[in-house]
């Protein structure tokens, strides 16, 4: 064993096994387990609830497609000076906004698991704005478009996670 | 006197385990207060592992919450064959790794963060007063995870390879890389 290994082993034996988090995590945990208990006690009702949620989601998607189908030509006409690439970004943003609004509406009566999720959502919004600003100069940049798409996906995932977490299996 | 001390220590361990077993049993039956006591008892170690694996306070806090939420659901799987803390540690490592995969996947693909920032870090003075935890947090993600699991938590490379979905050789290589980087961070010259 080298000197360094000896030294490292000493440091490892001196490292603390415990570390306390800076914020109180119990509140979120309590909310999480309460929501699990609620889910368990509503087993019978859950299948119909899930089904109705799925139907709502399908209906919302169909409405969105119809709206985009009719709105897209007007949007393109109104912004003739813009390139086709940026019109696509506008359409993506509009679709995202509608999806976020419909998700938020569907979770209106559900308590969120964390307090700062709106702040996180705002940070993702800011990130999307920065990417969109870059896309104005370079609307066909596929890396930026992908990045914007990922940010939008993160927003949806965040809203779903804090309102209806899907617990992992151990 | 020595015998008496040994008996006292032994009794503490026995009573400690007994009260923990009672808490586990109550929590399995849905007693939230008992679960809260288990949380108070173990959050320090769970958070420490989450923090060292993720390298970020916010992510470690979220992962710790996820660990306890899932623990509540899966506590029935604990059969008492091993120490509760050992079982909880293994659960914590697996949930945190899975959580990191979900959270960091796209960010890493987009920005390739694995190697960013390592060279910007100044070497520490070559002294015995080293904050190993702070240095471990500086390591790139895969090297850090392997180092934490192998050197701090005592997992075998075979187990780590399976947990992190990598070859055993890769786990050993990442451990070697972690040690080399720590050596650099500490300002230790090659012997």
Tens of pLDDT, residues A89-105: 888 888 888 888 888 88
- Residues B63, B91: contact at Cβ < 8 Å? no
CB contact under 8 A, B133 and A37: no
Residue B186: CA count within 13 A, CB half-sphere: 23
CA distance A127 to A143: 14
**Up-side HSE of residue B49: CA atoms within 13 Å toward CB?**
28
Helix axes B32-54, B57-74, angle to 10 degrees: 140
CB B171 within 8 A of CB B149: no
Distance from CA of A77 to the nearest CA of B (A): 34
Looking at every residue in chain B, the average pLDDT score rounds to: 83
Where are the domains positioned within chain B?
Answer: 1-111, 113-191
Q: Does residue B64 have a pLDDT over 80?
A: yes
Using an 8 Å CB-CB cutoff, list residues of chain B that contact chain A.
30, 32, 35-36, 39, 43-45, 47-48, 51, 57, 60-61, 64-66, 68-70, 72-74, 77, 91, 94-95, 98-99, 106, 110, 128, 130, 132-133, 151-152, 179, 182-183, 186, 188, 191
Q: Which residue has the tokens 């923090």?
A: B51
Give yes or no for A147 touching B (CB within 8 A): yes
Of A15-24, A150-159, B51-60, B78-87, the poorest mean pLDDT is in: A150-159
The interface pTM score, or ipTM, of the predicted complex is 0.77
Q: Please write the tens of the pLDDT for every residue from B15-36.
A: 556 688 899 999 999 999 999 9
User: For the structural domain made of B113-191, what CATH number should be given?
Assistant: 1.10.10.10
The CATH architecture assigned to B1-111 reads Orthogonal Bundle (1.10)
Helix, strand counts (H, E) of chain B: 8, 0
């Amino acid at each position: 064993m080298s000197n360094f290994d000896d030294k490292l082993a000493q440091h490892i034996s001196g490292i603390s096994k415990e570390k306390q988090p800076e914020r109180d995590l119990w509140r979120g945990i309590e909310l999480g387990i309460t929501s699990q208990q609620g889910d368990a006690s509503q087993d019978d009702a859950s299948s119909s609830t899930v089904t109705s949620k799925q139907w709502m989601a399908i209906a919302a998607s169909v409405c969105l497609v119809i709206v985009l189908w009719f709105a897209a030509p007007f949007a393109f006409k109104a912004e003739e000076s813009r390139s086709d690439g940026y019109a696509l970004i506008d359409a993506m943003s509009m679709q995202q906004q509608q999806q976020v609004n419909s998700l938020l509406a569907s979770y209106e009566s559900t308590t969120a698991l964390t307090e700062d999720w709106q702040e996180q959502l705002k940070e993702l919004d800011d990130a999307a704005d920065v990417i969109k600003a870059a896309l104005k100069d370079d609307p066909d940049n596929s890396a930026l478009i992908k990045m914007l798409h990922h940010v939008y996906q993160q927003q949806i995932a965040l809203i779903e996670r804090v309102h209806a977490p899907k617990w992992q299996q151990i | 006197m020595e015998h008496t001390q040994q008996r006292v220590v032994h009794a503490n361990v026995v009573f400690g385990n007994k009260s923990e077993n009672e808490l586990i049993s109550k929590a399995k039956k849905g007693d939230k207060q008992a679960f809260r006591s288990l949380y108070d008892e173990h959050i320090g170690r769970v958070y420490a592992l989450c923090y060292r694996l993720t390298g970020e306070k916010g992510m470690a806090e979220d992962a710790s919450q996820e660990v306890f939420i899932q623990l509540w659901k899966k506590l029935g799987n604990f059969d008492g064959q091993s120490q509760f803390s050992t079982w909880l540690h293994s659960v914590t490592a697996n949930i945190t790794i899975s959580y990191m995969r979900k959270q960091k996947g796209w960010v890493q693909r987009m920005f390739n963060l694995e190697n960013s920032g390592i060279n910007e870090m100044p070497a520490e003075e070559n002294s015995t007063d080293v904050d190993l935890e702070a240095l471990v947090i500086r390591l790139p993600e895969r090297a850090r995870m392997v180092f934490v699991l192998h050197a701090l938590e005592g997992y075998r490379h075979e187990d780590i390879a399976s947990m992190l979905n990598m070859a055993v050789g890769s786990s050993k290589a990442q451990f070697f890389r972690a040690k080399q980087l720590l050596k650099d961070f500490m300002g230790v010259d090659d012997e």
